[in-house]
Chain A
Amino acid sequence: MAEQYGYAGKILKVDLSTGQITEIPSSNYLPKYFGGRGLAARLYWDEVSPEVGPLEPGNALIFTTGPLTGTGAAMRAIGQCSGKSPQYYPKNTIHTNSASGGWTLQMKYAGYDAFIIKGKAEKPVYLWVNDGKVEIKDAGFIWGRTTRQTMFMMKELHDEKAQVACIGPAGENLVIPSVINVDCNTAFGQGGFGAVMGSKNLKAIVVRGTGSIKVANPAKILELNEAMRQITSIKHGESRVVNGEEIIGSRNSKGGSLASYGAGTETNTSEKLGKVRLRGAACPGCLSHCSVRQEYVDGSLPTGSASCVDNSGWLRPELMTGHYMGKTNWEWSMNNDALGIENFYIGALTLAPISNISPATSSLILDVWYDAYNRGILTEENTGLPWSKFGSSEFLQKLQSMLAYREGFGDVMAMGLGAAVKYIMEHEEFGPDRGDMEFLYQKSCPKAGVFGGLYRHSLVKGYGPGSSMSLASLYSGVDTKMGKEIHGEVFRLPKELLTYFYDSDKVGDLSYWGDDLAKAVVYHQYYAQWADCAPMCAFQTYTTTFHDFSVGNTSDFMKYSNFGIAEYLNAVFGEETTIEELHARDEMLLNMSRANLIRDGYLDGPVDTFHDCIYDEVDIDGINVIPKDKYEKCLAQYYDIMGWVDGAPTKAKLEELDLKDVADELEALGKLPA
């Protein structure tokens, strides 16, 4: 290759046990494995053996970027974190989740497409990656500090422009729903990778890169960015005709699609809180601006910023809260103003960056705990939590500190939801009704098998097991009303777009179980695979694409939407890649991901099914949402399309996809269908 476009060229591998630092040429893996999730799947296959536990030194923390990261392509300042996740239950396997922000950009500008971190340091350390120079440094002086303190100290010590990924007390204490904070703005939020990082005695990874990423056609990227902007945002003062109606961008409207926060305004969030001054915030290269900065006019609360997840999970009831917080909190906060969202808001704002616990994950888990409290399984006595003040700042502070420092009942919660539920069911102090916990768990994590979380969208939205990005499905629980709302948002696409993307104009209907649904699922997985490998913002995949298609016209949308990611790739690599070629690569990467799950024992238990209680669910109209027979028929059709037998790819299929070594290893383990 005369000119290297899109990729930085090296993969950094650090063994914290031996202190060995090595560099692997990216060409060993790229462009075959694309980047992001795809690259991570292959690195996981090579680095993490099936016997290794998630918190053991043999597990690898894998950070990957994609060919669009750092190129200036809008909304692509994303990287992925992967490894064996401790959050999965009962079996641990690969999990990949994404975070935005400057950290992953700096990774690439420092010359690396990926980091692989293995082993366990003898004492707390942090990594300082400065333009290709890598040092393992003593972290004794920052161990125990909050992520915010860590970030400021690292910046002061090294470089104001450096970016910091770090863990707080929760990660250090191996709390399962703990995150890796990225510059205290956003986080690798799901999968419990904060605990993995803590298990390696690794406090922070500080990165400073001053390099750049070459692209074949910069003018084309600018053109695409402008088209994206036209679709997603109307500037302050700009006037545009949308669907025959003139829209004028006002100061209070929005920069991007999600952020109608009222930039530069002072708002009363509640009588208790007083006035808060809001300003927009965004990840590098974002056109949507889901984050918000707030400053309390009277100084009663610390100034801070809420990232997209905090923002949508905790601040924006009308948008996303229901999805994130689950039915109970949602209805409850809507009905009870005194214990409403503002209280959660304080909790998220002041505590999430400090205690280093994922607000999204903990809100899902909270839903289960609150149901358990209502059923009398958890009480104030046996947990030490002020349940009667559920949702208040006091409750949240207590909860988060108990979790982060594993105090009392927090030690149980910190095992991870699945293990904690099992613990409660086995201990008498939780009363005679403690058996109900199983139902509550299954309701919250409806997927039987290695991981929980997917609703019907596991077929329609997600891309198969192991996904973190199908956010609606992860957090929606099984409340049918909420499921319908999500579905409505996701599939508000007009029929011509549904046909264009999914080859069927009926798949937008929640009750549709026709024969073309399985094919639509495969398409959806392909698109999602692009988005995670290229990579691009998880929120944007669904928000920009689905929320804002009405801005601009549909032909623009087809051409430039996230599904038009091919256009960006062509601009970066200067080669014409067809959709068919991309789909062929997607198929290979999906099989690679599946191979990881199979090697980790995924097929040993229930496969791609729901708990029985989920099949019995009916929605408010009395309609069975996931009829077992229809679901299973659809699943069989899906396996047929993928060329899988009983959920596993055949040897011939893997060899056809140029994964012969993977096929051989699986065959040696006896995990391939005969």
Chain B
Amino acid sequence: MTEEEKYTKREFLKKAGLLVGGVTVASSAVLTGCAGSEGATGPVGPQGPQGEKGEKGDTGSSAPAFVMPVKVPLSKGVLVVDKELCSGCMNCVFTCSLKNAGIGSYELSRMHMAADSKYVFDAYAEPCQQCVDPECLRYCPTGALHVDEITGARVVNENLCIGCQTCIAHCPFTPSRVSFNKTTHKATKCTLCDGDPACVKACPTGALRYYTNPEGVVSGHILQGGV
């Protein structure tokens, strides 16, 4: 395998950074190509390589030098999942897509599912962690990703989004917590429903909860050096 072929989609986009940012068609083509070449060694979903669960560690070191670190206010709330209680029923997923996209869909839900291959049919909800140091926001080339003033959620302004999917590639979690609407070519992500998350209400087991703190919650990805 050549050095180029070892690149996963996400690594490629990371390296390429803003260079492919504005070219939606080109970046999509790159995604498809990489996914195909990865087929022999491991599955690559449309949202990135399936690798280890959880945080992949600090990606700051591999970041291009021209991206300025940003310090954003902490989110005032975060969705957490009790994985012992979560049955993987996906009511949160459908509720999210119906409420926020108005249609029934896996892909347009801002709630994601992860499967543990140890089990057959094991899946649990994976909400956005509203990171202390949001990589999605840091690498957004247009400022579409910003912090909501009321909830502190890291959200996408779809008017500014150019559909480059850089945010999706830079999310430190698998699956990436940013969704992509292939019809409108815009990124979309959890907004915490303006402080009243519909997914939490829809959860039939009580596995999904919404923790809030007016001072801000420390969660998700944190760059080296701490808060």
Contact = CB atoms under 8 A, between A and B. Distances in A.
A212 B82 CA distance: 28
B219 interface: no
Most chain B beta carbons < 10 A, residue from A212, A233, A293, A304: A212
A232 B90 CA distance: 16
Most chain B beta carbons < 10 A, residue from A160, A280, A283: A160
A256 B39 CA distance: 39
A280 B85 contact: yes
Interface string A140-170: 0000000010011001111111000000000
Given A157-B39, A286-B89, A287-B89, A263 B95 contact: no
B115 interface: yes
Interface in B127-143: none
A233 B205 contact: yes
Nearest to A108: B104
B120 interface: yes
Interface string A237-275: 110000000000101000110010001100000000000
In the A-B complex, the 5 residue pairs with the smallest Cβ-Cβ separation, listed nearest first, are: A236-B206, A212-B105, A264-B84, A255-B205, A235-B206
Interface size class of B (residues with CB under 8 A): 35 or more
Contacts of A237: 206
A225 B91 CA distance: 9
B97 interface: yes
Given A160-B45, A212-B108, A263-B87, A72 B206 contact: no
B211 interface: no
Interface stretch (B62-70, B162-170, B196-204): B196-204
Contacts of A42: none
B107 interface: yes
Interface size class of A (residues with CB under 8 A): 35 or more
B78 to A, nearest CB: 18
A356 to B, nearest CB: 13
Given A160-B50, A226-B201, A238-B206, A304 B104 contact: no
Interface in B85-121: 85-91, 93-95, 97-99, 101-108, 115, 117-121
Interface in A270-294: 279-287, 289, 291, 293
Contact of B205 (A73, A210, A235): A235
Contacts of A236: 82, 85, 205-207
B102 A215 contact: yes
B225 to A, nearest CB: 34
B79 to A, nearest CB: 15
A184 B121 contact: yes
A255 to B, nearest CB: 3
A159 B43 contact: yes
B31 to A, nearest CB: 13
B46 interface: yes
Interface in A148-198: 148, 151-152, 155-161, 183-185
B133 to A, nearest CB: 27
B182 interface: yes
Contacts of B46: 159, 161, 210
A218 to B, nearest CB: 4
A63 B90 CA distance: 23
Nearest to A232: B204
Interface in B183-206: 198, 201-206
A107 to B, nearest CB: 12
Given A159-B43, A213-B105, A214-B103, A151 B120 contact: yes
A362 interface: no
B122 interface: yes
B42 interface: yes
Contact of A235 (B50, B182, B204): B204
B83 to A, nearest CB: 8
Given A225-B95, A235-B205, A109 B106 contact: yes
11 contacts: A70-B104, A109-B105, A159-B43, A160-B43, A160-B45, A219-B99, A221-B98, A284-B89, A287-B89, A287-B204, A289-B205
A305 interface: yes
Interface string A104-131: 0110010000000000000000000000
A210 B106 contact: yes
Given A222-B95, A282-B87, 15 more contacts: A157-B39, A157-B43, A160-B50, A161-B45, A184-B121, A222-B198, A233-B205, A251-B85, A255-B207, A263-B205, A264-B85, A281-B87, A284-B90, A303-B118, A305-B120
